[in-house]
Structure 1
Amino acid sequence: MTKKQITNIEVKKNNRNRIFRYIRKAGVVSNPDIAYHLQMSLPTVTQNTKEFLERGLLQEVGELASTGGRRAKALKVCADFRLAAGIDITGNHVSMLLVNLQGEILDCQRFAKPYEKGMAYYQELAQNLERFLDKNQVDRTRFLGLGISFPGIVNFEKKAITYSHVLGVEWLPLEEVSACFPYACFFLNDANAGAYAEGLQADRGEEFFYLSLSNTVGGAVFAHGELSQGKNFRCGEAGHMTLVPDGGLCYCGKKGCLDVYCSAKRLADTKEGNLEAFFSALKAGEEKSAALWEDYTDKLAVAVNNLHMILDCDIVLGGYVGSYLEPYLDAVWKKIYQRNTFGESMPFVRACRYQRGAAALGAGLRVIESFLETV
């Protein structure tokens, strides 16, 4: 095959992918609309959408309003043409959801399941998945696979989870986990999965740092539709940057880590592990909770400003605490603004879009994205 032939094939593949992604994002569109927005010829667009219709990826949903000529046929993605599952594993619970090609969550569940070392845990998880798919009447021929989110370092070069304090894991080959499921498996760190959910549902050009404020603090860098992994797949581990020299003892054995001061556990432990109860007390004006929150957000403001100074991008506050942050965001921003060297008037910090199941959703979207790349 000549270089020119290869180039033509790549151009056609790229056009096909752009067209499908545009329709997916736009919702209901016509061929002229696609051609106009993507600056492609109408015959090129029509040829590709015809192929998508024949494959079952698109459907006609009537006609759009006339703009003076013949009415254009309205097209939209067949969202349930392919489905994927996302699973988020934590120390004590498992979250499981079903997502379609449009990125819509069709069903989700969360159940208590303390983590146990050994393949029996994953085999039981596989049985739970089958029951979950049966409940939703999922045709297995349309099922793409599952994404699994772990609270630990997922090293793709070594093809293993190389460390997870939460799960008590120091080495777990990914193929051993995959072998327990009869489907293709994709793996993500939990903070990366949360960032993935935020990023893929936004504009592909968006850049941000995702600060995951869960029972441990993690983070991820998302830019131009991709996650930055880092040399040792530890990019974004903000929880272990030193916030207070010789401060409180972190579970990692070092002192003064951000995790000590901004984990969800710090707040929840004041209410017997119930984070919702903490925020209820805070809303009610309980003095002890208010004082703790004041110190928590003081430390959070320092961390957010430091991250922004280094990365010069927006900061998304996610994880368990992030899901409660929206009512308090203005107050947090004021603390950040006081520390900001450049006096930026536009807030560069926001709460996460997904307040529940972000990691499971990101894991599921990783599977969907792998399919979209082939369209």
Structure 2
Amino acid sequence: MTKKQITNIEVKKNNRNRIFRYILKNGIVSNPDIAYQLQMSLPTVTQNTKEFLERGILQEVGELASTGGRRAKGLKVCADFRLAAGMDITGNHVSMLLLDLQGKILDFVRFSKSYEKGKGYYLELADMLEQFLDKNNVERERFLGLGISFPGIVNFQKNAITYSHVLGVEWLPLEEVSSSFPYPCFFLNDANAGAYAEGLQAEDGEEFFYLSLSNTVGGALFAKGELSQGKNFRCGEAGHMTLVPEGDLCYCGKKGCLDAYCSAKRLADSKGGKLEEFFCALKTEEAEGEALWEDYTEKLALAVNNLHMILDCDIVLGGYVGSYLEPYLDMLWKKIYERNTFGESMPFVKACRYKKGAAALGAGLRVIENFLETV
């Protein structure tokens, strides 16, 4: 008897969640549409949407066009029923954004701030978050929490950041960070956060490897709707695979790592640390920039093909460089194709969907997803 009761509860919870996610994804829908698409009974759907309306998480938006009978009422999620924030911490900057339940970015800011060890740094960020929420008139009872992206190994078994070269951190308990904020905090590695943002907007069942080309090179594997973390939470550390044996020195102390050849820093340093200026010069066919770009894309093509050979999935190029790559994908694909053993005619390399704030977005979406799982 108890077993059956638990099963019925789980079935009802699953139905409720599927209904809400369907409405969230499809915008304005009707009860008959939901019932048909999800293959549920109309009474089941109607009972659940009635409860959502009573909670204020759903709203009626008039009547839809008639399909031959009585016009069905349109239903839509109240996207601002709950809000969340995402924050991306790097060595020299902090990005912050505000999201609604549909993942829409309501506000985004990025400011210079050098990372500092110690509680004081996080208390300053907490104060900045409060100012950010006040600016957007966010009622705190509607605020779900904060997702934080770090450039380092976020180990959930040890509840700590166990290594971050960028921040000079070898051990940082997550509690030391979260205790500075008066809201629930969720943590992700920066490459994982970028992949998470891409993955939640992907088609169902899409699998890809996200190669983050920022001031350091990282990566993440997204499959079956979630991130693959790895045994030691280091899955996707493509930046430290050896690309050129005994090659250029990497910041990790080893030689020939992908990071030494394909970090955004390599391109930006040619223009005084300004990546945008490098790509502006590239458009003018500056000889020095073209030579650097030729070598950069040769190494990138080699890495992308290697990753594809191992994983047999699409490779999404993100990070700082990924936001500039759209116009150069055909050229890059030709280089990849020359190395591809199977002569695949369909390009498996793509530029990222999100050109700025991808890590902060992914961190914020993790907060939203945590709420959606409870609906």
TM-score category (smaller protein): over 0.9
Give the partner amino acid of 2:313. Answer: C
Counterpart residue type for residue 275 of structure 1: L
Secondary structure of the 2:121 match is helix
Aligned equivalent of 2:29: 29
Counting only pairs closer than 5 Å after superposition, residues 322-341 of structure 1 correspond to structure 2 as 322-341=322-341
Question: How far is 1:224 from its partner?
Answer: 1.4
Question: Residue in 1 aligned with 2:169?
Answer: 169
- Counterpart of 1:310 in structure 2 is 310
Residues 104-142 of structure 1: per-residue CA shift (max 9 Å, x gap):
000010000000011100000000000000000000000
- Describe how 1:142-161 pairs up with structure 2 within 5 A: 142-161=142-161
| Residue 73 (structure 1) aligns with | 73
Secondary structure of the 1:345 match is coil
TM-fit CA distance, 1:188: 0.3
Q: Deviations over 1:245-271 (max 9, x none)?
A: 000000001000000000000000000
Aligned position for 2:233: 233
Distance (whole Å) between structure 2 residues aligned to residue 302 and residue 8 of structure 1: 52
TM-score, with normalisation over the residues of structure 1?
A: 0.99
**SS of 2:252 mapped into structure 1:** coil
SS of aligned partner of 1:97: strand
**Which residue of the partner structure matches residue 59 of structure 1?**
59
Q: Does 2:99 align with 1:91?
A: no
Partner Cα separation in structure 2 for residue 314 and residue 234 of structure 1 = 20
Q: Which residue number corresponds to residue 288 of structure 1?
A: 288
Q: Which amino acid aligns with 2:101?
A: L
Aligned AA for 2:20?
F
Deviation at 1:322, TM superposition (A): 0.1
> CA offsets, 1:320-360, max 9 Å, x none?
00000000001001111111111111111100000000000
Q: Tell me by how many angstroms 1:202 deviates.
A: 1.7
Q: Which residue of 1 aligns with 2:258?
A: 258
Q: CA deviation at 1:211?
A: 0.1
Q: Name the SS of the counterpart of 1:7 in structure 2.
A: helix
Is 2:3 aligned against 1:3?
yes
Alignment correspondent of 2:120: 120
Q: Percent identity?
A: 85
* 1:62 aligned counterpart, secondary structure: strand
Q: State how far apart, in whole Å, the 2-side matches of 1:337 and 1:36 are.
A: 43
Question: What amino acid is aligned across from residue 346 of structure 1 in structure 2?
Answer: M
Structure 1 residue 204: Cα displacement: 3.1
CA positional deviation for 1:200: 0.6
Question: SS in structure 2 opposite 1:251?
Answer: coil
Mapped to 1, the partners of 2:15 and 2:280 lie a distance apart of: 51
Q: Equivalent residue for 2:319?
A: 319
Deviation at 1:18, TM superposition (A): 0.6
Cα distance in 2 for partners of 1:220, 1:72 equals 43
Instruction: Give me the whole-angstrom Cα distance separating, in 2, the residues matched to 1:88 and 1:243.
Output: 28
CA drift at 1:2: 1.1
Count the aligned residue pairs. 375
Matching residue of 1:186 = 186
Q: Distance in 2 between matches of 1:43 and 1:341?
A: 54
What SS does structure 2 have at the residue aligned with 1:270? Answer: helix
Rounded to whole Å, the distance in 1 between the matches of 2:122 and 2:203 is 35
C-alpha distance in 2 between matches for 1:266 and 1:289: 11
Q: For 2:108, what is the secondary structure of its paired residue?
A: strand
CA distance in 2, matches of 1:204, 1:120: 42
- Give the structure 1 partner of residue 243 of structure 2: 243
Q: Distance in 1 between matches of 2:17 and 2:341?
A: 42
Counterpart amino acid of 1:211?
L
Name the counterpart of 1:138.
138
Distance 2:73 2:199 in 1: 31
**Distance in 2, Cα, partners of 1:332 & 1:3:** 56
Aligned mates of 1:31, 1:298 — CA distance in 2: 53
CA distance in 2, matches of 1:360, 1:342: 37
- Partners of 2:342 and 2:6 in 1: how far apart? 49
CA deviation digits over 1:162-186, x for unaligned, max 9?
0000000000000010100000000
The aligned amino acid for 1:240 is H
Q: Secondary structure at the match of 2:331?
A: helix
Q: C-alpha deviations, 1:203-244, integer Å up to 9, x for none?
A: 231110000000000000001110000000000000000000
Equivalent positions of 1:355-366 (< 5 A) are: 355-366=355-366
Partner Cα separation in structure 1 for residue 274 and residue 5 of structure 2: 61
Deviations 1:295-316 (A, max 9, x none): 0000000000000010011000
SS in 2 for 1:255: coil
Give the Cα separation in 2 of the matches to 1:48 and 1:203: 26
**Residue number in structure 2 paired with 1:199:** 199
Give secondary structure in 1 for the equivalent of 2:99: strand
Question: What SS does the aligned partner of 2:13 have?
Answer: helix
CA separation in 1, counterparts of 2:206 and 2:55? 31
Amino acid at match of 1:133: L
What secondary structure is seen at the aligned counterpart in 1 of 2:166?
A: coil
Stretches of structure 1 lacking an aligned partner (at least 5 in a row): none
User: What SS class does the counterpart of residue 350 from structure 2 fall into?
Assistant: strand
